[in-house]
Each structure stands twice: as structure tokens, then as C-alpha cells.
A and B are shown apart, each in its own frame.
Chain A
Amino acid sequence: MNGTRKRKLISTFFILICILSAATGLFFLVFILADLFVKGIHSINWSLFTQDFTPPGIPGGGLRYAIVGQLIIVGLSIFIGIPLGLLGGTFIAEYGRNHKIAKLISALSDLATSIPSIVVGTFVYAVIVKPAGHFSAIAGAVALAIIMIPVMLKTTENILKLVPWSLREAAFALGAPYYKVIFQIVYRSAATGLLTGGILSAARIAGETAPLLFTSLNNNFLSFDITKPMASLTVTIYRYAMGPYDNWHRLAWAGSFLITAFILFVTIISRLIIKWRYKKGA
């Protein structure tokens, strides 16, 4: 009997450790988010959205120029990345589904989603910034798009594979060519998944800083010229947080709060939509 008791005790001990580690993970999540929330809420005010950069020492100032820049850069990268990823994923899931090369590309895309984002930044610097002779918003958008394409490709592939094969066969039987089947049957029945997948891929790159550091660089003024350096929220947060001024730190917290709240909101909503859509036995 003693042995059994000992075994039970050991079991309880290790299970407690597992519960403890889960609590630690949750603790950090709550700690980081609560901190961000409290400090961010305190720093949010209207002038954040209406004012631009002010030199240190002069009170006030806002993040309008960085928010606009962020929207332009991320918007451009979505414009490049989503169609490329969508079409690539379509090829893998449809035309290439029985070919070895499609499996290889799919596996490579999996790897590509984890390639250090700063390396992508150096690459884009070498192929766009250096030949052009100056930093530009479009270079930043290309860097983000390169990170986004494999993510979107994998998402598309996974979602298209959920479309029942019999649906396609029914359309083939009516004499529809493959591209029509893809556009009118496959895309349509996977629309919700594709849309939320696209949003998730965009959310994945919206918070990236490293690839923008030496592509879109930074700018102290509101700019709409995509061939010139442009401020982004993330790079601005980096510069403000590293700076010595309290006012800058306040802006950095405010910016961090905005971007995290946005990403978390979008991510949670999209996940819920996907769950709801694919749980109904569709």
C-alpha cells in the first residue's frame, strides 16, 4: 500500500507542476496585456490622431503621420501579397494537388513563414533600396508582402482542401472548364474562410517592425509619397521607446496599445468566424 501512496503522491506533484506552468503562461499574458492596456489607455487622447511629430521638449504631439504611414504600407503589402498568396495556394490545392513539386512548395512555404523577418529586410534593402538609392514606403510594403505570401498560400491551400471534391466533379460534369469551377464553385464555397484567412495573414504582418527598419525607414512628417521614406507605427514605437523623453514614452505606449488592440481584435474575430463556419459541418 505504501508504494501506491508514493506513486499517487508523485503523480499529484507533477500534475501540480503542469498546472503551475500553465498558470505561469497565463500570468505573463495577463501581465503584458494588462500593463499595455493600463498604460495605453492613459496615453490615448484625441490629439494622438490629429497631430504629427513635435520636437522633444515641446509638449503634445501625436501619431497621425505614423498611423497614416502604417495604413499605407500595410495596405500596399496586402495589395501585393494577398493575390499572389491566393493564386499560389490555389495552384497547390487544385492543379498541383497530386504532384510532388506542389508538396515541396507547400513545405517550403511552411519554412518561409518562420524565416527571420529582419533577413527579409536586408534582402529588400539589397534589391530595391540600394539600386533606387533611397528608402521608400514601397520597399517596406514589398518586405511585408514577402513575409505574407507564404502565410496566405498555406491558408488558401488548407481552406480549399476543405471544399468537398464532389462539388467540383458536379461542375465538371456540366462541362465547366477548371478555371470556372475554381472561380464559381471553389472560391464561392470557401469565401468566408478565404476572407478571414486573408485578414489573419494581414494581422500577422501588421505588427512587424524589423523588415521596415531599413526599407521604409522613418519620417517625421505626414507623407503620402510611396517612393519616399515613410513613418510606420511600429518603427515609430521603436524610436520613441528607445528615446530618453517621457513624452516619447507616452506616445510609444499609446501606439503599442493601438496596434496590439487592433491585431488582437481582428485575430479573435477571424478565429471565431472560422470556427463558426467550419463547425457547422460545412
Chain B
Amino acid sequence: MSEKTGFKLRNNLFFYVSLLCAYFVPLIIITMFVVLLKESYPAIEKFGLFHFIVSSTWDPVKGIFGGAAPIYGTVVTTGLSLLIAAPLSIGIAIFITQISPARLKGIFGAAIELLASIPSIIYGMWGLFVLAPIMANHVEPFLKETLGRLPVLEYLFRGTPIGIDLLTASIILSIMIIPFITSVARDSFELVPATLIESAYGMGATKWEVIKDIILPYSKNGLFGGLILGLGRAIGETMAVAFVLGNKHQIVLSLLGASSTIPVTLANEFTEADTKIYLSSLFLLALILFVSSFIVLSLAKYLVIKDRKT
């Protein structure tokens, strides 16, 4: 009899311990939000949330802070990186699922996924020492000569090409998010029923027509989810961008200008913040980043789930 109660006791103990561990994840997410809100409260109180977002003054000496510049930098780098990564990732996913010989499929997929396990600081360092000089000496002068001469586009390519700028940072970011988008896109493409593809071929469609008219429309939710997941990844990336963006609090139209993003500002200034309001403003930036990435990732998750259900 006593052995049975012992079992029951241990069973209950294990149940509650594992339950506690499972609830740890939602608990930490809520705690994170509350703590960040509490820490950034002085800044919200002093500057106002809306005013903080639209003001670009960042003056640690006078103690006046506005987050518009790093927010702008974050939006531009993530947008541009998505613009570069999206077609490439979809192309890679199409290649892996539809074009490559079956034997190479696994190897190729694994190779692209390896890109995801390289630590982000390696991307940053490679960007600083290898990509930035290439950009400064070859790519950017070339872009200035060609696209920079067109009427409207010239605004995007003003300034001296130094390689430490929005364009280089976006390229590094796009290389980083390619594996994430590719992996989701690949899974979505593989969910397209084979009968649908076969019947299209049977009607005489070419390979591209099958891709364009059957596979892409069928998997558009998952594809969209993958793109937004890539966006969510890019928003919060720190180390890959920290090296090649210059950390300047300025809003520049030119892609050849130095800028800053929220994570980069945090990485560079957090340990240097010497006043309470300075630190609080940095916490507010972290809160904005946390909330926006959370919203973006939830949307991505929702779209991917919707895709898997149908």
C-alpha cells in the first residue's frame, strides 16, 4: 500500500514540476514585457511614446532622446534586406523542390540550412573585413555610375561610398535571413498535392507555368508567412549589422549613408548610458523592438499554421 502512495506522490511531484517548466515560457514573455515597460516608464513619462517615436534628437549630453533615427534605420535595413532575400529565397526553394535532381536535394537543402547555423557575429565580421571593402571599391562606385545617374534614384546613391552603410548592412542581413525564408517556402511547396502538379503537366503546361500558376498560388499563405518570419528575424538582428552600419543617429535617404538600428544602438550604448533617462530611453527602444518583433512573428506563425491546415 505504501508503495502505491509513494508512486502517487512522485507522479504528482513530476506532474507539477514539469507543468511549472512548461509555464515558464509564457511567464518569461509576460515578465519581459512588464519589466521592459517598467524600466522604460521614465522615458515614456518624460518624452511621450508618440513623441519619442517621431523625434530624431538623440542628445545624451542634454538628456533629450528620440528614437526616430534607429527606428528608421531598422525599417530601411529590414525592408531592403527582405527585398533582396525574397526573390533569392523563393528561387532557391523552387530549385530545391522542383528542379534539382532528387539525389542532390538533401545535400542542397542542408547546405542552405548551414547558413543559418553560422553565428551572426561571423557575418558581421566578414561584412566588415571582406564585404565592406568590396562594396566601397567596386559595387557602390558602379551603382553610383549607373543607377545614381537616373533622375529619382540618384537620391538613393548620394555621398561617398565607404562600404559602412545601409546598403552593405542590408546585404549582410539578406544573406542571414535567406535560410529561414527558404526553409518555410520549401515546406510549403512540398505540401502542394502531386496530383495537381501532374495534371497541369498533363495538360501541357511548361515547368514555369506549373510553378507560376499551380505551386505559387497554392502555397501563397505559407510563402507569405516565411517572408514575414524573415522580416521578424531581420528586425532583431544585432551583431551582423553592428559592424557595418556605422552607428550614427541620423536619418539619411541615401543608401550609402551610415545609420543605426534599434539593436545596434542598444549594443553600442547600453553599457555607456550614464544617466537614468538615457538608460530608460534605451529600454524604451528595446520595448519597441520586443513588441514589434512579437507582432510580426505572431503574424508569420498564424499564416504558416493556416497554410499547413488547408
Contacts and interface: CB of A to CB of B under 8 A. Distances in A.
Contacts of B114: 29, 264, 267-268
A116 B36 contact: no
Nearest to A113: B297
A253 B122 CA distance: 9
Contacts of B11: 177-179
A18 B206 contact: no
Contacts of B263: 116, 118, 210
Contacts of B169: none
Interface stretch (B15-23, B192-200, B249-257): B15-23
Contacts of B211: 14
Given A11-B208, A22-B91, A179 B10 contact: yes
A107 interface: yes
Contact of B122 (A32, A86, A111, A214): A32
B290 A91 contact: no
A92 B249 CA distance: 45
User: Most chain-A Cβ atoms within 10 A of its Cβ — which of B22, B98, B263?
Assistant: B22
A70 B138 CA distance: 38
A91 B16 CA distance: 9
A112 interface: yes
Given A29-B111, A29-B115, A91 B19 contact: yes
Interface string B253-283: 0000000000100110011000000000011
A117 B15 contact: no
Nearest to B121: A209
A116 B293 contact: yes
Contacts of A177: 7-8, 10-11
Contact of A115 (B26, B270, B293): B293
Contact of A203 (B117, B209, B229): B117
A105 B25 contact: yes
Interface residues of A, number: 93
Given A116-B293, A177-B8, A179-B14, A88 B24 contact: yes
Contact of A116 (B18, B118, B236, B270): B236
B71 to A, nearest CB: 14
B35 A19 contact: no
A158 interface: no
Nearest to A102: B22
Interface in A76-97: 83-92, 94-96
A170 interface: no
Nearest to A104: B26
Contacts of A105: 22-23, 25-26
Contacts of B95: 18-19, 21-22
Interface string B279-310: 00011001001100110011001000100000
Given A95-B15, A234-B121, A117 B236 contact: yes
Interface stretch (B45-53, B123-131, B150-158): B123-131
A237 interface: yes
Interface residues of B, number: 89
Contacts of A7: 206, 209
A10 interface: yes
B29 interface: yes
B207 interface: yes
A123 B122 contact: no
Nearest to A200: B117
B187 interface: no
Interface stretch (A53-61, A161-169, A219-227, A255-263): A255-263
Contact of B126 (A32, A110, A203, A234): A32
A6 B47 CA distance: 62
Given A11-B208, A21-B88, A107-B301, A119 B236 contact: yes
A186 interface: no
Interface of A: 7-8, 10-15, 17-22, 24-26, 28-29, 32-33, 35-36, 83-92, 94-96, 102, 104-105, 107-112, 114-123, 125-127, 146, 149-150, 153, 177-180, 182, 203-204, 206-210, 213-214, 217, 234, 237-238, 241-242, 249, 252-253, 256, 259-260, 263-264, 267-268, 271
Chain A to chain B: the 9 pairs with minimum beta-carbon distance, closest first: A116-B236, A207-B119, A21-B91, A11-B206, A11-B208, A88-B21, A87-B21, A91-B18, A91-B22
Given A36-B126, A210-B267, 12 more contacts: A7-B206, A22-B100, A25-B115, A84-B24, A90-B18, A91-B22, A107-B301, A111-B294, A118-B266, A153-B22, A260-B118, A263-B119
Interface of B: 7-8, 10-11, 13-15, 17-19, 21-26, 28-29, 31-32, 35-36, 39, 87-92, 94-96, 98-100, 108, 110-112, 114-115, 117-126, 128-130, 175, 178, 182, 206-209, 211-212, 229, 232-233, 235-239, 242-243, 263, 266-267, 270-271, 282-283, 286, 289-290, 293-294, 297-298, 301, 305
